[in-house]
Chains A and B, each alone.
Chain A
Amino acid sequence: MKKTLLLSTLASATLFAVAPVVKPISERTFSQSQYMPDISMIMDFSYVNHSISDAELQHLEIPGVVHGIMGTHEHGGSSESTYNAKNGFNLNYAEMVLSSNVDPFFSMDAVLHFSPEGVAIEEAYFTTTALGNGFRLRGGKLLSEFGRQNSQHHHFWDFGNMGLVNEAFLGSHGINEIGAQLQWVAPTETYLMVGAELLQGTNEAMFGNAQIGEEDAVIAEGERAPSLYIGYVKSSFDIGSTTILPGISYIYGSSRLDHLEDEDPHAFAGDSTIYAADLTVKHYFDSYSFLTWQSEWMMRDMDGTKYVDNAGTIDSNDLEKKQAGYYTQLVYAYDQNWRVGARYDSIYLNDVTAQDFPEDLKRYSAMVEYHPSEFSRIRLEYNRNDSLFNEDGERQNLDTVMLQFNIAIGAHGAHDF
C-alpha cells in the first residue's frame, strides 16, 4: 500500500514536472497558508479646505501649550504632520493590521502605518492568553490605554482629528510608546479594570529622558529609561439600554524637551504629571441606532527648568505649567447608514510661571457620516478652531471643511465598546 502511494506520488511528481498543477491549499504538502495571520488594511483619504494657507498653518501655535500643532515634525528621520493638515488632498495613511495566536500562551498584533512620509510601526505587541485570574500582560510598542481616545486608532474616532487637549498635550500620536502593560479585570459583577503601564518615555510633546546639551557642555542630565509611568481604573455598568463607562488615569514621567536647534532655541527639563478623567454614556434605541455622549478631561503639571539660548549663553529659569482642557462630544447614529455628531473642545487653564497666556482656547466641530456598508465610511466634517495664534501673538481663527473616506479590506475588524 505504502509502495503504491510512493509510486503514485513519484508518478504525479513527474507529471507535474511536465505540467504544473496548483493544488488546493489543503493538499499542498508544505503549504503553511492555513497559518496566515488575519490581515486587514485600512485606508484614510481626505479632501481638506483650510481658511489659512499651508505655509501660515505651519507656524501657528497654542501659546504656552504647543508650537506648530498643525505643522510637520521630525519623526524617526522622516517628517510627518498631523492628519488632514494640508489643503487639498491628504492620504493620511494605509494601515496594515496583522494578528494571530502565537502559541497556547501568547497572541500577537502588529499595526504598520504606511504614509507618504514612510512606514512606522504604530503598534507591535504580544498579549498573554493563558495567565488567568483576570490578568493580562502586553509587551512591545503600543498605544497607552489611559483615558478613552488614546488607545483607539484614528479610523475608530468619531471626528477626523483628536481631542484638542489630547493633541496639544501629547502630540498627534498620543502616548504611543515601547513598554509593558499589565491589566487586571476584577472578579466582580460590575466591570472593573485596573491597568498599569511602564513605558520608555520618549513622547516628544511632553515627556523624554535624553540628556540635553553636548557631552562636554551638559545643560540637563538625562533620566534613566523607562521613565513614564501610567495607571488607570475603568468601570462600567448598564441601566436598561444605557451603558455608562467612566475612567480615571494618572500619568507621571520625566520631561526632556530639546528645541535648542529651533529658530527660537529653548529647552525644558523636569517632571510632568497628567491627571485625566473620562466618561462615556451610550444609549441604544435598537441594534443600529444609538446616542453616545463622550467626554475626556485632562490636567497637566509640568515642573522644571527652562533653558534659553541667548546667542551662545544658556540662561535657566524655573518653569511650572498648569494647564487643563477637555472635549465633549455627542454622536447620534440614526441607522446603519447615517450618523451625525457635534464636539466642543476647550483648554481653559493655561497657567505658566511669569507669563500671561490666553485661557479661552476653543474649537467647535460638527460632522455627518454615511456608511455605505460596514467596511466603508464617508464623513463630511467642519471645524472652527479659535485656539491658534500666529508668531506675533494674534489670534487666527481657522475654519476647516473636510471630506474623508475611510475604507477597510481583509479580515473583519471587531471593535471594543
Chain B
Amino acid sequence: MKNIFILFLLPISLFAHLNIAVSYPYIGAITKAIGGDHVKTIVLAKGNWDPHFIIPRPSLISKLRSADALIMNGAQLEIGWLPPLIKRANNPKVIPNAPTFLNLSHQIELIQKPTSVDRSLGDVHPDGNPHFHLNPNNILTLAQSISNFLTNMDTQHGEIYRKNLQSFEQKWKAHLAQWQVRMKDRNGMKVIQFHDNLAYFNRAYGLQSIATIEPLPGIPPSSRHTLSLIGLIKEQGPCCILHDVYHSTNTAEYLAEKTGIKLIIMPHDIGALDSVDSLVGLFDYLSEAVHYD
C-alpha cells in the first residue's frame, strides 16, 4: 500500500519545480543560475529580436497561462508587447503587482531619465534607459533580487537559492575583474550607436557615445541625419559604430564607406548571435568586440 502511495507521489516530486516565465533570455540565465533544479525558466522573447518589438505570438499566452511567476525587465521595455499577453493569459500569478511578479527595473537606478517627455522627441522611455543589464556590475544586483524573489515564493528551498547566489556572485566577480582589466584601455573611446542601448555598458567602461544613427529614439534613419553624421564622424573621429543585431546595417555600412569608420556588431542578449550562448559569453564577446585592432 505504502509503495503504491510513493508511486503516486513520484511524478509530483519529479515536477515539483517552479515555472518561472521571464521576458528576455538574460533574465532566464540569471534565474536558472539561482534557481538551479528547482525552477524551470520559460523565456518569452527571442534573443535576436529587437527587445522593444517582440511579436506577441499566441503561443506565448500559453506559456504565461501555466507560469507560477513572471520576471520582467521593466522600465517600459516590454510596453509594446507584454501587456496584451498578460491580459489574455488569465493567470492572476503573472499580473503586475502580484507577489509573484517581479519588475527588475525597480532594483536599479536608471540613467538618462528625461526631465520631460514628448513624442516629438521620439519614443523616449519616461522612466529612463531600460537596457541596464548591459552594465555587468548590475547583474549582481539583479541576481540578489531574483534570489530574494525566489526565496519569498519558495521558502522551503531558500537555503539552496542563497547558496546558488553566493556561488554565482563569486564567479561573476572574477569575470568582472577580467572585463575591467580588458576594457581599461578603451576608457574615453568615442563611439556611435544605432540606438543608445549600450548606455550602461559605455558608462561602466568609460566609452563615450557621441551620436546615434536613428535621429531620435524609435525614428528610422533619415538622409539628412545621416549626412550630418558624416560631418560629425570626420570632425570628432569616433573609433567605431557599435551596432545592434536587429536593425538593418545599411546606413552604418554607408557611413563606413564614406568615412572609413569601423562597424562592430554588438549583441544585446544571449542568443543575439549564435555564438553568444551564456551571460558570461555575452560580456566576453562585447569586451572582445571593441578590441578589433
CB distance from B169 to the nearest CB of A (A): 33
A414 contacts B80, C-beta separation under 8 Å: yes
Q: How far is the CA of A416 from the CA of B80 in the complex (A)?
A: 10
**A237 to chain B: closest residue by CB:** B59
CA of A373 to CA of B79, assembled, Å: 16
Q: Does B219 contact A (CB under 8 A)?
A: yes
Taking residues whose C-beta sits less than 8 angstroms from the other chain, chain B's interface range is 35 or more
With A191-B61, A335-B220, A373-B218 as contacts: A417 and B56 at CB distance below 8 Å: yes
A416 to B57, CA, bound (A): 8
Decide if B74 is an interface residue (CB 8 Å cutoff). no
With A185-B89, A185-B90, A287-B53 as known contacts, state yes or no: A414 contacts B59, CB within 8 Å: no
User: In the complex, what residues of A have CB within 8 A of residue B83's CB?
Assistant: 414
Measured between beta carbons, the chain A residues less than 8 angstroms from B61 are: 185, 191, 193
The stretch among A29-37, A131-139, A254-262, A315-323 that forms the contact with chain B is A131-139
Q: How many residues of A are in contact with the other chain, CB < 8 A?
A: 46
Instruction: Give how many A-B residue pairs fall within 8 Å (CB-CB).
Output: 102
**Residue of A at shortest CB range from B56?**
A417
The 7 A-B residue pairs with the shortest CB-CB distance in the complex, in nearest-first order: A236-B58, A287-B50, A191-B58, A136-B90, A191-B62, A287-B49, A416-B84
In the complex, what's the smallest C-beta–C-beta distance from A246 to chain B, in angstroms?
A: 11
Q: Are A243 and B62 in contact (CB under 8 A)?
A: no
B58, B91, B119: the one contacting A243 at CB < 8 Å is B58
Q: Which residues of A contact B95 (CB under 8 A)?
A: 129
CA distance A282 to B91 in the complex (A): 26
Residue in A closest to B89 when the chains form the complex, CB atoms? A185
| 25 A-B pairs (CB sep. < 8 Å) | A130-B92, A131-B92, A134-B65, A134-B90, A183-B90, A185-B88, A186-B65, A188-B62, A189-B62, A190-B59, A191-B58, A192-B62, A236-B59, A282-B55, A286-B49, A287-B53, A287-B54, A335-B248, A337-B220, A373-B123, A374-B80, A412-B80, A414-B80, A414-B83, A416-B84
Closest to B86 in A: A129
Are A132 and B92 closer than 8 Å at their CB atoms? Answer: yes
In the complex, what residue of chain A is closest to B51 when comparing beta carbons?
A287
Using CB atoms, name the residue of chain A closest to B76: A412
Residues in B lying within 8 Å of A, measured CB to CB = 49-50, 53-59, 61-62, 65-66, 76, 79-84, 87-92, 95, 119, 122-123, 218-220, 246, 248
B122 to chain A, nearest CB (A): 8
Determine the chain A residues whose CB is within 8 A of the CB of B65 once the complex forms.
134, 185-187
In the bound complex, CA of A363 to CA of B285 (Å): 54
CB distance from B38 to the nearest CB of A (A): 21
**Min CB gap A36→B, angstroms:** 14
Q: Is the pair B246, A374 in contact by a Cβ cutoff of 8 Å?
A: no
For the complex, what is the distance from the CA of A134 to the CA of B66, rounded to whole Å?
A: 9
